[in-house]
Structure 1
Amino acid sequence: MKTILSLLILFVAFSEAGAQRRLALSDAESLAIDKNRDLQVARLEAAKTDQQVREAKGYALPLIAGSAQYQYYPLRQVSFLPGSFVGLGDDQLATFRVGGSSAFLGGVTISQPLLQPGIKAGIRAAGLARDISDQAISETRARVVTDVRKAYLLVLITQEQLRLQQQSIQRNEQALKDARALLAQGRASRVDTLRAYVTIENLRPAVIRLTNEVDIAGTVLKRVIGLDDSDVLDLTDSLRYEENPIEEADFYSQAIQSRPEIHRLELTEKLNQAQVSIREADRRPKLSAVGLVQSQAQTNRFQWNSWPVSSFVGLQLNVPIFSGFQQLARISQAEITRQQTATQLANLKEIVRAEVKIARSKAEEARLRIRTQAQTVSVAELGYRITRDRFRQGIASRLDVTDAELSLTQARANYLQAVHDFLNATYELDRATGRVK
């Protein structure tokens, strides 16, 4: 029975390990948004800023604290009185011990800020930090989605390149059969068969390399998505090109309005200004309402018979006068930080302008290559068929067939690379303009 159970567990384990996950590009994007660890970290950072907002608002609420203290005096406290109180000279002091050997003090203090300019600025700064974390999530999401698209695309083109090499081997294997048939008929030389065999063997290392690259590309895709490396992916989308012209638009304006990085720096500049306000508020007077209710008692034998209560309420004013120029230095630091952010924002806008221009230029260049290579593939296919037929008729050499087959393989590879570059450039253009949602 145990043996059967063990075999059943192994069977289930192997079945799960061998199960494939069918994955379209849209599914990969959705999984990455849910599972990518960078996004999870960004969401946790947003949750932390929520608590920072809560903390900032808490400074405007009353502060209530309870305290209790017990003291034991092996030698009771000493008090001093003028000597005249007990019949001594005026220049003498009388000492006597007071109180009990055990003392207890307990109370509740309350402090309510009434006038504290820094609290309002702190709440505003915490809210801006929360908005910044939201933009950071959007920024990370756009980057992750773009990385998933590019990783997915890399798997597709690597698979297509492997398929091209396998097709090339199949064509050369057929050419080897044709050469052997012609050799048997006395219409071809032995050199032709040897050349066909060597050509096939020279193609096999590329197949091995591309097979490994497919596995590596799949590993990269799983890492970007956040899947376990043991998952087996079956990509359902294909490497295809659709003739959709890039619309004429002011991409730079779109990017300025949509890029979360720009919004994040704009909010950071406002946050830095709020930090300046907080530092300036530290130099202003602060007014608080304070109160205390306390009870105290003393005894010699732990018999607490009396618990007298005292209390007070009042106002507490704190006026900064001089702090060794610390506050002025902090204000200057906050202002310099704000200026740094403003410079970073201006620099980022120029970087975005360049990214948009480069991505669009690459997309248009790849589109032109696709059109050219599509025609080249058609011509190469026709040339290969003609040369193959001529070789079978004995009026073309094996070298001509090899050259025609190599040209066909290269033309198809160039077309696939152009499609890959075009899609890659469009993904970069979407990210650069902030259209990745």
Structure 2
Amino acid sequence: MKRLIYMLLATLLIWGSAGRTQAQVRQLTMENAVKLALDKNRDLQVATLETTKSAQKVVEARSYSLPNVAGSAQYLYYFNKQVSFLPGSFVGLPENQLATFRVGGSNALLGGIAATQPLFQAGVRSGIKAAQIDELATGEALADVRASIVTDVKKAYLDVLITQEQLRLQQQSIARNEQALKDARSLLAQGRASRVDTLRAFVTVENLRPTLIQLTNRIGITKTVLKRTMGLDEQETIDLQDSLRYDVSLFALPGNDAYFEAVQARPEVRRLELIEKLNREQVAIQVAERQPKLSAIGLAQSQSQANNFRVDEYRWPVSTYLGLQLSVPIFTGYRTNSRIQQAQITRQQTETQVANLKEIVRAQVKIGLANVEEARLRIETQRQTISVAELSYRITRDRWKQGIASRLDMSDAELSLTQAKSNYLQAVYDYLTATVNLDKVLGRIK
């Protein structure tokens, strides 16, 4: 009996421990969220692998300037031995006839090593340079993906924060209206308020509750988006430690040369400029196809034939040679000219894309600065509005309790206070989101 009790207690302890493990909550600041995303985000992992692949392309391009050595081996069995032809006079036949002889063994073995060393190939150097430029461009693409992920994580984090703050604001509004309902019932009992005021207060409270449910559900949705962006498991529970806070000192506005700062720092601009250089090298590679190619070639070969399989008795004569091989293109059916034209058109397209992207960056910088300033001004305005709305609410509530103000005045004052706080909250959110976007526009995310 005691053993059974101990087993039950042990089982309960294990279940309790498992429950606590599953219920562990990951505490997240925005900085930690960004670090986790840079470590776990799958898009970033794919981009990182792409840079590794680009490095291997450089190795491949360099290999075309190195020797190419190949070994070969061959075994042949002749059911009918090879035939050689000799003039008929060798065996007493007329001159106009040929004599045939079967020579060699039934088993033929052949082995050798061949080597080729490029001496002059105009496209090799351009190919290496193109691969190196492509590696740099891939690195800039990785930096662009990294900047996008950091921006997305910060914005998703802010989405959760504002939803939580909106929920808290809604709870405060419900609390104020519930207090108003309590006061209305008290005044009704004293005969100082009408039944209509009490019913109106009750309806107001109940009308606010569906929004509370919506905001609670939206918090779960925004946290799901944040976890997906970070690369966390959907089942993991997170708790955000930061809050929506306005501090103008945390963001440094750029100077008058903001556009030039953005153009020099934006990874997508640098990537497109590198692609433009890459396209120039592609033109050079295609032009090089018109040039002759010179290589050194060599061969060491041994062969033997016999009618048996006593390999130890075979004789292995060796033949070797070393020479030069020249290849001169004469006519390729206009294929080379067409490829050169295609490469030149691609280069022109990239030049246009670079110019267009720089104009887009100019517009983004202007819009980003305007959004930050507009949100900052709204914050300053809404701060004063909240103070006035709170004073108005307190005065109207006191007047209503004294029977001087109507229930409608009370509702309007409470709605104005809630709206003022909501507008301030939205302004702070817009300011923080605008600074995050502007950091990406200016290329400040490293």
Normalising by structure 2, we get a TM-score of 0.95
The separation in 2 between residues aligned to 1:11 and 1:284, in whole angstroms, is: 77
**1:17 Cα deviation from its structure 2 partner:** 2.3
Partner of residue 227, structure 2: 222
* Correspondence for 1:165 among 170, 174, 190: 170
**1:243 Cα deviation from its structure 2 partner:** 3.2
Paired AA for residue 232 in structure 1: T
The separation in 2 between residues aligned to 1:247 and 1:104, in whole angstroms, is: 77
Paired AA for residue 382 in structure 2: Q
The separation in 2 between residues aligned to 1:382 and 1:430, in whole angstroms, is: 38
Q: What pairs with 1:119-198 in structure 2 (closer than 5 Å)?
A: 119-198=124-203
Partner of residue 290, structure 2: 283
Paired AA for residue 335 in structure 1: Q
**1:121 Cα deviation from its structure 2 partner:** 0.8
Q: Deviations over 1:319-338 (max 9, x none)?
A: 11111111111111111111
Q: What pairs with 1:19-98 in structure 2 (closer than 5 Å)?
A: 19-98=24-103
* Secondary structure of the corresponding residue to residue 208 of structure 2: helix
Residue 256 in 1 paired to residue 263 in 2? yes
**1:344 Cα deviation from its structure 2 partner:** 0.6
* Correspondence for 1:239 among 235, 244, 247: 244
The separation in 2 between residues aligned to 1:289 and 1:309, in whole angstroms, is: 20
Please say if residues 182 and 188 of structure 1, whose CA atoms lie closer than 8 Å, have aligned partners that are also in contact. yes
Normalising by structure 1, we get a TM-score of 0.97
**1:247 Cα deviation from its structure 2 partner:** 4.8
Q: Deviations over 1:193-243 (max 9, x none)?
A: 111111111001101111111111111111111111112111111101123
**1:2 Cα deviation from its structure 2 partner:** 7.5
The separation in 1 between residues aligned to 2:11 and 2:85, in whole angstroms, is: 89
Paired AA for residue 20 in structure 2: S
* Secondary structure of the corresponding residue to residue 56 of structure 2: helix
The separation in 2 between residues aligned to 1:2 and 1:292, in whole angstroms, is: 80
Partner of residue 420, structure 2: 411
Partner of residue 341, structure 1: 350
The separation in 1 between residues aligned to 2:438 and 2:268, in whole angstroms, is: 15
In 2 relative to 1, CA 102–349 (structure 1 residues): closer, same or farther, beyond 3 Å?
same
Partner of residue 423, structure 1: 432
Q: Deviations over 1:361-399 (max 9, x none)?
A: 111111111111111111111111111111222222222
Please say if residues 17 and 230 of structure 1, whose CA atoms lie closer than 8 Å, have aligned partners that are also in contact. no
The separation in 2 between residues aligned to 1:45 and 1:143, in whole angstroms, is: 17
The separation in 2 between residues aligned to 1:71 and 1:247, in whole angstroms, is: 78
The separation in 1 between residues aligned to 2:323 and 2:422, in whole angstroms, is: 85
In 2 relative to 1, CA 327–247 (structure 1 residues): closer, same or farther, beyond 3 Å?
closer
Paired AA for residue 166 in structure 1: Q
Q: Deviations over 1:62-106 (max 9, x none)?
A: 111000010111111122222221111122222221111111111
* Correspondence for 2:335 among 326, 329, 354: 326
Partner of residue 407, structure 2: 398
Q: Deviations over 1:108-141 (max 9, x none)?
A: 0011111111111111111101101111111111
**1:7 Cα deviation from its structure 2 partner:** 4.8
Residue 293 in 1 paired to residue 279 in 2? no
* Secondary structure of the corresponding residue to residue 248 of structure 2: coil
The separation in 2 between residues aligned to 1:125 and 1:264, in whole angstroms, is: 14
Structure 1: tracts of 5 or more residues without a match: none
The separation in 1 between residues aligned to 2:190 and 2:248, in whole angstroms, is: 49
Matched length? 437
Paired AA for residue 53 in structure 2: K
The separation in 1 between residues aligned to 2:47 and 2:90, in whole angstroms, is: 75
The separation in 1 between residues aligned to 2:301 and 2:189, in whole angstroms, is: 116
Structure 2: tracts of 5 or more residues without a match: 1-5
